[in-house]
Chain A
């Protein structure tokens, strides 16, 4: 179900659970049916890749500036770049540069 449709139906009682993935905000919306408590919801990962892959490196431009192992938080700070907390979940991840030199 689209998020628009789900939001429009916020006040409606649904008979079975409906859900929508909102990519821009990275959030999954799940609307539960009437009197659905107690409820157990199991959300399964899309990826079947093992999450304990070892060692990944960030290459920014042509220069390696930081690295971390799976499950670690990556923190890198210098006068030029600041990268906070890129949790390495699996092979391949994105680095967020929050502050560039002014």
Chain B
């Protein structure tokens, strides 16, 4: 969680934003601070920002927008060219065995790529202090004819890879794909 000015230091509009923040580099959160408000003025820095709650809507950055708000939904935007990892809600570590990790992909524009490295430790011990962890690198390259998603899991410094890691991809596209090929096999 960080102020926008830390990420967009060349944009003076971000210097005095007191009611919105970044969650990581990818997500912009703009909580409604005013009782009964039906809209909120939100500043979007450079790039293209997608309404995380309604991914079909997107906005060009470097502008203020009047965004309709309701009690049920907090305004959250994701920058185009981002990958967001998600897991099911759990009350404690290991509650749900074989819980999946979903990488939600908001592909970059053609010719560009989105990347994310997921860091995981065992969640229970202090072994992370010895760099016992695993990192999963996800990359999505946008090309004219489609998208190329690669997932590469690196196991480092003594941490045993989990067996049966459940991984999925949720990728936002304008229309259903023609085909999906995994490791050169349908």
Contact = CB atoms under 8 A, between A and B. Distances in A.
Interface of A: 10-13, 16-17, 19, 21, 23, 25-47, 51, 71, 73, 75, 84-85, 87, 89, 96, 98-99
Contact of A23 (B97, B147, B153, B176): B176
A37 B153 CA distance: 6
Contact of B60 (A12, A26, A33, A85): A85
B57 A26 contact: no
Interface of B: 48, 55-60, 65-66, 68, 88, 96-100, 109-110, 136, 144-153, 163-185
B110 A11 contact: no
Contacts of B109: 87
Contact of B98 (A13, A26, A71, A98): A13
A8 to B, nearest CB: 12
Contacts of A75: 60
B166 A43 contact: no
Given A26-B55, A27-B172, A45-B177, A84 B60 contact: yes
B97 A37 contact: no
Contact of A51 (B55, B144, B171): B144
Contact of A43 (B55, B99, B147, B174): B147
Given A21-B177, A26-B174, A85 B167 contact: no
Contacts of A41: 148-151, 169, 180-182
Given A27-B171, A44-B179, A47-B175, A38 B55 contact: no
B55 A27 contact: yes
A11 B153 CA distance: 20
A30 B153 CA distance: 17
A39 B151 contact: yes
A32 B60 contact: no
Contact of B180 (A19, A33, A34, A36): A19
A27 B135 CA distance: 25
